[in-house]
Chains A and B, each alone.
Chain A
């Protein structure tokens, strides 16, 4: 096993990265003084990966929406029962989640680390799907989809994504739709599992209170060797501009909720993409975040309230500048933001504001290194985005006011903008 140690004296942190012969990347970050260990076993596979082929295959395979999330549910079930029982016996707290471009299985424990790690490796690597178990899950997942349909915060996001994206599955609920999940069969689950749960497409990150050598022994003894698979994901043809400028919906909410989004063009290389995200995050804050004059003005005019926030919404193949919250006048927010973009393009950015925004992001990244759960999550995330964690932090430290100014000139085209609003009933 190829083993490297990454150390950063300034950040007071170091971690071990191993490349296992199976292709799996293992990240180990022991942390002194903590009681818990947190392990995250993830595959670089999420709801947007619905059209793909393996190296050597001629045609792309297209599958119904929602399989990544469906697999997450089904992997907890084995021939001998429920994986939660394995963890119940060790006392670990186990869970899993699926995002647009990632699926992760995890546990957090304060004792019996060895048994829990073995359980995690076992259940993720041993799929068991039958017609009967797949069918049973459809009821549970349909309920989950409905629950999200009742959530205004979730709906307002997907209404916006529907305005921005034409073909990318990012516009579809991560869990799929009731129609799409009805098409899921054990065969489809195995097809996706055998493609994306290949060790070469996976990362195991462990942080906190554990012994790295012991962890490596357990991993070595429990990894299933599989022939390495190379995956090609079909890119989605997306026009640069938004499809439609606006969506409106009515629900039981107290105040209108809105999202304003600019569809951005993700930079080509991994480092450029990450740099772009840092620059956008700083820009969002400078334009209309709580340190900006624009935010103060809108707040004092009663147009926004403290729920207002900004986000860089990003993943494999998609990138959106998001602005949202509650407001009775979402159009006024849109207008103020557009005017502010024009003004800052003309007048440039304030250097002290820039420093405050950059320091804030820097401080937040440093904190993750000293929190067990956040550290494992950040390590896995950085690795999957193709860069190491310390390298990512270094990229942020290098961002200059000039970079951010340049970004503003290129990335905020009003033709790529859309607004979605949820209105109160009645």
Chain B
């Protein structure tokens, strides 16, 4: 087994720096993640602040200058992103550049990318306690558009509706982009205050992945994040993982849309957290049920009965949610539902073969062994590990998965409690529907 690939060094108050050298990528990725708690009050302003910071800095104040800088750095990929990690979220500033040796003009691209990142974080477009009004307005409108755009893709919309029903106002259930009604109240001043709060309260995880000598840029980060880099800093603690309790009755809901394909989502809840001993049995259970092209849902519901165009199951280990989602012809919804429930019941009864188990294991191991194939997936894998307080390589996970027994899987299946059945009902059926009957 390979050892954990890197060490973290504390370079400030709740600020760590880790480096994962990987020659094979011939590029480097520097990522600075600000980890803050998720809450209804802050989720919207955090999303807006992240958008504003990701496209401009005082050093490159317009989109044009910022983009041109990225172009000149051979298509550097730089910007911000937000990701939910259980009850917390991470606002990540990332910059990726090709290896210095590939630059046509001998530029020090790693150093340039580090400076660009620090410029985004410490030289935001803030003057007199307010974000530049024009940039603020553009990003506020864009965030509003993004929140509204949720209905454009019905598959995603159906999944989100199901999660909203399941998780309500739990932090883990909050929409990453926040709420329109909260967005309307934000001003250039309140957004600047929000950024100040983020810097005061966040834990900071800095990771370098790929080529280049991280030691040449580490002093820049030590200088920027060392000591009290902002007055009054009190970093937040990592919250304890916890079970979100199920409702007493199964929730059902339906929305009508003028589309030809319906979306059926079935949500189950289980007491699973990122560090649960039952996590790997549940991963195996989900893979056998609906995680692969040989899974029960794919083979029986889609292939044999032709009831769905897609039908699969997914586990979200941070929320303890197993979600089955499918695309169904409106007149097949009841049949599809019955067929899906039958497959779940089969799992609970232990009605699956040793071959099903072997296939699921191979597929999951293949997924874990593919993590270290891109700097971005390496970074996000190890960031999540750090946030959840786990130290396991992908190979460690493969070993644990291989130790899962049939009894473990049956036990995992029986941990699932049906929570929500959601239907996005397609009403645009017309002449074509009769044509293929």
Q: 19 A-B Cβ contacts within 8 A?
A: A11-B102, A87-B293, A111-B365, A143-B327, A143-B329, A150-B154, A178-B432, A178-B436, A182-B436, A252-B152, A290-B63, A296-B64, A305-B145, A355-B71, A360-B71, A362-B104, A370-B24, A370-B27, A371-B25
Are the C-beta atoms of A306 and B142 separated by less than 8 Å? yes
How far is A425 from B428 in the complex, measured between Cα atoms in Å? 13
Are the C-beta atoms of A300 and B64 separated by less than 8 Å? no
A35-B373, A150-B260, A296-B64 as given contacts; A356 in contact with B72, CB under 8 Å: yes
Interface membership of B81, Cβ < 8 A: no
How far is A306 from B54 in the complex, measured between Cα atoms in Å? 12
Are the C-beta atoms of A252 and B62 separated by less than 8 Å? no
Interface membership of B341, Cβ < 8 A: no
A12-B101, A359-B75 as given contacts; A110 in contact with B152, CB under 8 Å: no
Q: Which residue of A lies closest to B370 (CB)?
A: A36
Are the C-beta atoms of B366 and A92 separated by less than 8 Å? yes
How far is A143 from B259 in the complex, measured between Cα atoms in Å? 12
Are the C-beta atoms of A140 and B27 separated by less than 8 Å? no
Interface membership of B363, Cβ < 8 A: yes
Residues of A within 8 A of B251 (CB): none
Which of A26-34, A222-230, A261-269 is the contact stretch?
A: A26-34
Interface membership of B269, Cβ < 8 A: no
Residues of B within 8 A of A306 (CB): 55, 142
Residues of A within 8 A of B97 (CB): 363
Residues of B within 8 A of A360 (CB): 70-71, 74-75
Residues of B within 8 A of A369 (CB): 26
Q: Which of A150, A254, A295, A302 contacts B148 (CB 8 A)?
A: A254
Interface membership of A336, Cβ < 8 A: no
Q: Which residue of A lies closest to B292 (CB)?
A: A88
Are the C-beta atoms of A299 and B362 separated by less than 8 Å? no
How far is A305 from B63 in the complex, measured between Cα atoms in Å? 12
Are the C-beta atoms of B309 and A352 separated by less than 8 Å? no
Residues of A within 8 A of B370 (CB): 35-36, 93, 108, 110
How far is A31 from B26 in the complex, measured between Cα atoms in Å? 12
Residues of B within 8 A of A251 (CB): 258
Extra 18 A-B pairs, beta carbons < 8 Å, given A143-B261, A291-B67: A33-B23, A34-B24, A35-B370, A93-B370, A111-B366, A140-B306, A143-B329, A147-B327, A254-B149, A254-B152, A255-B148, A290-B67, A292-B64, A295-B64, A356-B68, A366-B74, A370-B25, A370-B27
Residue-by-residue, is A336-369 near B (CB-CB < 8 Å gives 1, otherwise 0)?
0000000000000000110111011111101101
What residues make up the interface of A, taking CB atoms closer than 8 Å to B? 10-12, 31-36, 82, 84-85, 87-94, 108-111, 136, 138-140, 142-144, 146-147, 149-153, 178, 182, 251-255, 257, 289-293, 295-296, 299-300, 302, 305-307, 326, 352-353, 355-357, 359-364, 366-367, 369-373, 425
Are the C-beta atoms of B102 and A12 separated by less than 8 Å? yes
How far is A194 from B149 in the complex, measured between Cα atoms in Å? 45
Residue-by-residue, is B20-32 near A (CB-CB < 8 Å gives 1, otherwise 0)?
0011111100000
How far is A152 from B258 in the complex, measured between Cα atoms in Å? 12
How far is A152 from B380 in the complex, measured between Cα atoms in Å? 31
Measured between C-beta atoms, what is the minimum distance from B168 to chain A in Å? Answer: 24
Residues of A within 8 A of B27 (CB): 367, 370
Are the C-beta atoms of B63 and A295 separated by less than 8 Å? yes
Are the C-beta atoms of A254 and B71 separated by less than 8 Å? no
A110-B366, A142-B436 as given contacts; A88 in contact with B294, CB under 8 Å: yes
Are the C-beta atoms of A149 and B303 separated by less than 8 Å? no
Interface membership of B153, Cβ < 8 A: yes
How far is A367 from B134 in the complex, measured between Cα atoms in Å? 34
Interface membership of B138, Cβ < 8 A: yes
Are the C-beta atoms of A34 and B141 separated by less than 8 Å? no
Are the C-beta atoms of A296 and B142 separated by less than 8 Å? no
Interface membership of B374, Cβ < 8 A: yes
What residues make up the interface of B, taking CB atoms closer than 8 Å to A? 22-27, 55, 62-64, 67-76, 97-98, 101-102, 104, 134, 137-138, 141-142, 145, 148-154, 257-261, 292-294, 299, 302-303, 306, 308-309, 327, 329, 358-359, 361-363, 365-367, 369-370, 372-374, 426, 432, 435-436
Interface centre among B76, B293, B327, B432 (most CB of A within 10 A): B293
Q: Which of A111, A178, A326, A366 contacts B98 (CB 8 A)?
A: A366
Interface centre among B64, B306, B329 (most CB of A within 10 A): B64
Are the C-beta atoms of B24 and A31 separated by less than 8 Å? yes
Chain B contact residues: helix, strand, loop or mixed: helix
Are the C-beta atoms of B366 and A296 separated by less than 8 Å? no
A300-B134, A366-B26, A366-B74 as given contacts; A252 in contact with B63, CB under 8 Å: no
A11-B102, A296-B63, A370-B24 as given contacts; A254 in contact with B432, CB under 8 Å: no
Measured between C-beta atoms, what is the minimum distance from B298 to chain A in Å? Answer: 8
How far is A152 from B373 in the complex, measured between Cα atoms in Å? 33
How far is A152 from B101 in the complex, measured between Cα atoms in Å? 43
Are the C-beta atoms of B362 and A91 separated by less than 8 Å? yes
Residues of A within 8 A of B26 (CB): 12, 366-367, 369-370
Are the C-beta atoms of A255 and B259 separated by less than 8 Å? no
Are the C-beta atoms of A356 and B261 separated by less than 8 Å? no
Residues of B within 8 A of A31 (CB): 24
Q: Which of A32, A147, A364 contacts B24 (CB 8 A)?
A: A32
How far is A373 from B376 in the complex, measured between Cα atoms in Å? 14
Interface centre among B68, B71, B148 (most CB of A within 10 A): B71
A302-B141, A370-B25 as given contacts; A144 in contact with B63, CB under 8 Å: no
Q: Which of A82, A254, A299, A373 contacts B151 (CB 8 A)?
A: A254
Residues of A within 8 A of B23 (CB): 33
How far is A307 from B142 in the complex, measured between Cα atoms in Å? 9
Residues of B within 8 A of A89 (CB): 358-359, 362
How far is A369 from B134 in the complex, measured between Cα atoms in Å? 40
Residues of B within 8 A of A92 (CB): 366
How far is A93 from B432 in the complex, measured between Cα atoms in Å? 35
Are the C-beta atoms of B149 and A326 separated by less than 8 Å? yes
Residues of B within 8 A of A363 (CB): 73-76, 97-98
Q: Which residue of A lies closest to B358 (CB)?
A: A89
Q: Which of A140, A253, A291, A326 contacts B64 (CB 8 A)?
A: A291
Are the C-beta atoms of B64 and A293 separated by less than 8 Å? yes
Are the C-beta atoms of A94 and B293 separated by less than 8 Å? yes
How far is A33 from B20 in the complex, measured between Cα atoms in Å? 14
How far is A9 from B8 in the complex, measured between Cα atoms in Å? 35
Residues of A within 8 A of B62 (CB): 296
A110-B365, A326-B149 as given contacts; A290 in contact with B64, CB under 8 Å: yes
Are the C-beta atoms of A362 and B75 separated by less than 8 Å? yes
Q: Which of B71, B359, B366 contacts A109 (CB 8 A)?
A: B366
Are the C-beta atoms of A35 and B372 separated by less than 8 Å? yes
Residues of B within 8 A of A150 (CB): 154, 259-261, 426
How far is A254 from B148 in the complex, measured between Cα atoms in Å? 6
Residues of B within 8 A of A84 (CB): 293-294
Residues of A within 8 A of B69 (CB): 356
Are the C-beta atoms of A302 and B138 separated by less than 8 Å? yes
Measured between C-beta atoms, what is the minimum distance from B333 to chain A in Å? Answer: 13
Measured between C-beta atoms, what is the minimum distance from A224 to chain B in Å? Answer: 25
Measured between C-beta atoms, what is the minimum distance from B16 to chain A in Å? Answer: 26
Please provide the 7 A-B residue pairs with the shortest distance between their CB atoms, ordered closest to farther. A91-B362, A363-B74, A356-B71, A363-B75, A33-B24, A254-B148, A360-B75
How far is A305 from B309 in the complex, measured between Cα atoms in Å? 33
Are the C-beta atoms of B142 and A305 separated by less than 8 Å? yes
Interface centre among B27, B261, B367 (most CB of A within 10 A): B261
